[in-house]
Structure 1
Amino acid sequence: MELELLKSKIDSLVDKNNSKEFTLQAICDLLENEIPYYDWVGFYFKNGDKEELKLAQFTGEETEHTIIPFGKGICGQVAVSNQNFVVQDVSEQDNYISCGWKVKSEIVIPIFVKGENIGQIDIDSHTANIFTENDTLLLEHVCKKVATIL
């Protein structure tokens, strides 16, 4: 993974002044295309005043998990904890919502606007034990850039 090159590409996408929806979709597509083990990339955001997340833009297979209650699954846990969550082997997680039998690992990074956790980026991989510190650094950068357009 060319970390600095990918950060630069993300910066360019965000700085183009396209619609929020277009930019989020472009980020999903870029990450899924550039990183071979990113098999599903999506954004979830807090659903109004409800204690749940709602799926926004994504790239990958369709998912039935378009609404996720706070506390449920990896995404729901991040909504409550406000912490990054890297799961190298989803079969070892008790509170995991399966998005498909192919998913082996998942990484979720929260997005903060004015100190409030308003959403997250969620990455699924069909490969176990695949995520590194570079993935965390890249996705934290993505979330900081995305926060500037929300």
Structure 2
Amino acid sequence: MIFETLKPQVENIISNSTKTVDERLLAVCDLLKTNIKYYNWVGFYFRNGQKEELLLGPYVGEPTDHTVIPFGKGICGQVAVSDQNFVVPDVSAQDNYIACSITVKAEIVVPIFVKGENIGQIDIDSNTPDPFTEADERFLEFVCQKISEIL
């Protein structure tokens, strides 16, 4: 399975201390988008200090206007409040969805925890309807756990 082959590559990127944190996060985004065909936009959002909003971090994919997301708004904002993974098989069926592109059909968001606190998340959009499985969730939890070690 592709996830098992990507895990050591994620670990290599994360452990490369000659690069900045943002450079490593961008490299992880690029690795995932390049190797998983239904990952069409891969990026990170992080809590803006003590404000109840998320700021866009490194990402790969189409540019987005959604650089600041209030807690509770959209899928990312809901994950900031719930501390739970959120898999959306069909974005058109979600009332509280922030459309980034008309081509996006599905989304998965997995929180990143540092010392038990939700400090951000990885956000993946797919142009393929209902592509995400439990294997995606487990893999992205692994990615987020590795990333938490450098934040």
- What is the TM-score with the length of structure 2 in the denominator? 0.98
Cross-structure match for 2:4: 4
Q: Spell out structure 1 runs of 4+ moving beyond 4 A.
A: none
**2 CA distance for matches of 1:64 and 1:117?**
23
User: Is residue 35 of structure 2 the alignment partner of residue 34 of structure 1?
Assistant: yes
**CA-atom RMSD, angstroms?**
0.7
SS in structure 2 at match of 1:110? strand
Give 1:63 shift. Answer: 0.3
Map 1:75-114; keep pairs closer than 5 Å. 75-114=76-115
User: Is residue 64 of structure 2 the alignment partner of residue 60 of structure 1?
Assistant: no
SS in structure 1 at match of 2:132? coil
Give 1:126 shift. Answer: 0.2
Q: Which runs of 5+ in 1 are unaligned?
A: none
Letter in 1 for 2:6: L
Letter in 1 for 2:16: K
Cross-structure match for 1:121: 122
Give 1:134 shift. Answer: 1.2
Q: Which has the larger displacement, 128-137 or 100-109?
A: 128-137
**2 CA distance for matches of 1:67 and 1:100?**
16
**2 CA distance for matches of 1:84 and 1:109?**
5
SS in structure 1 at match of 2:101? coil
SS in structure 2 at match of 1:107? strand
SS in structure 1 at match of 2:146? helix
SS in structure 2 at match of 1:65? coil
Q: Which runs of 5+ in 2 are unaligned?
A: none
Give CA-to-partner distance per residue, 1:96-118, whole Å, 9 cap, x none: 00001000000000000000000
Letter in 1 for 2:3: L
Give 1:92 shift. Answer: 0.7
